[in-house]
Homo-oligomer: A and B are copies of this chain.
C-alpha cells in the first residue's frame, strides 16, 4: 500500500444554488473542456444546500469572486492510497473502509482535519497543508510527522479526536449509484450530465421539502460513473449543523465501525456536511451501529 501525496494545492469552495447559473460557463469548461484549462483536479458535489467545488489553484482562477461563491480560506493537499498488491489488509471492502486503519485513524489521532473525496477508483484524503510535512511508515501504516512550526492540532482547536462531538446522522430514503466512466466517453454523455448538473433543480425548490430524499450528485476529480455491478448504495449524512473545517476525527468516527464490520463505504465531504455511501444491504446495520456509538459516547 502506497500513500501518494499528490502535487495539487486545492481550494474548497461552495456555490449557492441561486449562483449556479452565473458559474455555468467556468464549470462546463472545467468539466468538459479539459484542454481549455490548466486545472488538473476538479470535483463537484451537489447537495440540497449548495454545490461544493474542490479544485486546484489553476481551476480556482476560473471562478470569479461573487456573493454566490464561498471559499474556505485554507489550501488543502490531497493524499491517496494506491494498493500495490502486497498489502497485508485482509479486507475485501471497497473505499474508505480499506484505508481506515492505515490512514484515517492515524490522521485522526494526530488531530489532522481531513476532507474526504471518494471516487469509484480511489479515495482522495484532503488535509491542510500546514498540518504536516512528512509521513513516516510504521508497521505498514503511514503516520504524519508534524513539522516544527505546525502547532499541535489538539491545542489548536481544543478538541481531542477521541472526545470529538458525535454528530447526528440522517439516512435519506434514496438509493445511489457509484460508477466510473472512461474520460473518452464523457463527450457522448455531455448533454445528459449538463442537464443533471445545471438544469435539474428549480432554484425556488425548498431544500427541506422532503427530508426523506435528498438531491446528491458528485462528479469526481478524474473519473466518473458507469454502472458497474448494478449495486445500489444508501447514504449516511453526517451533521445536524454544518460541520466546519477545523474539527478532526469525523471521518474516523464513521469509518472505524464500518471497517470493524468490513463494510465498504465511499465517503464524500462537502462544504456543509459529510456523506458516507454504504451498500444498500448494510444500511440498517450501519444506521444502528452509528446510533449505538452516539449513545455510547454521549453517556
Q: Taking each of A26, A36, A188, A195, which has the highest tally of chain B beta carbons within 10 Å of its own beta carbon?
A: A195
Taken together, the copies of this chain in the complex come to 2
Contacts of A24 in B (CB 8 A): 24-25, 28
Q: How far is the CA of A198 from the CA of B190 in the complex (A)?
A: 15
Which residues of A, 154-212, contact B by the 8 Å Cβ criterion?
A: 186-188, 190-192, 194-195, 198-199
Q: How far is the CA of A168 from the CA of B93 in the complex (A)?
A: 73
Partner of A32, one of B20, B21, B29, B194: B194
CB of A289 within 8 Å of the partner chain: no
Q: Is the CB of B25 within 8 A of A195?
A: no
CB of A22 within 8 Å of the partner chain: yes
CB of A145 within 8 Å of the partner chain: no
Q: Could you tell me the distance in whole angstroms from the C-beta of A53 to the nearest C-beta in chain B? A: 16
Asked whether A199 and B33 contact (CB < 8 A) given A28-B28, A188-B188, A190-B190, the answer is yes
Q: Is the CB of A198 within 8 A of B25?
A: yes
Interface residues contributed by chain A, number (CB under 8 Å): 21
Could you give, for residues 28-40 of chain A, a 1 whenever the CB lies within 8 Å of some chain B CB and a 0 otherwise? 1100110010000
Q: Could you tell me the distance in whole angstroms from the C-beta of A188 to the nearest C-beta in chain B? A: 6
Contacts of A28 in B (CB 8 A): 24, 28, 194, 198
Q: Is the CB of A33 within 8 A of B195?
A: yes
Asked whether A194 and B33 contact (CB < 8 A) given A28-B28, A188-B188, the answer is yes
Q: How far is the CA of A20 from the CA of B22 in the complex (A)?
A: 11
Q: How far is the CA of A33 from the CA of B195 in the complex (A)?
A: 7
Q: How far is the CA of A25 from the CA of B21 in the complex (A)?
A: 6
Contacts of A26 in B (CB 8 A): 21
Contacts of A191 in B (CB 8 A): 32-33, 186-187, 190
Q: How far is the CA of A194 from the CA of B32 in the complex (A)?
A: 9
Contacts of A190 in B (CB 8 A): 187, 190-191, 194
Q: How far is the CA of A192 from the CA of B32 in the complex (A)?
A: 10
Q: Is the CB of B36 within 8 A of A195?
A: yes
Q: Could you tell me the distance in whole angstroms from the C-beta of A37 to the nearest C-beta in chain B? A: 9
Q: How far is the CA of A24 from the CA of B30 in the complex (A)?
A: 14
Q: Taking each of A24, A33, A186, A188, which has the highest tally of chain B beta carbons within 10 Å of its own beta carbon?
A: A24
For the complex of A and B, the 4 pairs showing the least CB-CB separation, nearest first, are: A24-B25, A21-B25, A187-B191, A190-B190
A-B contact pairs, 5 of them (CB 8 A): A28-B194, A29-B199, A32-B194, A33-B194, A36-B195
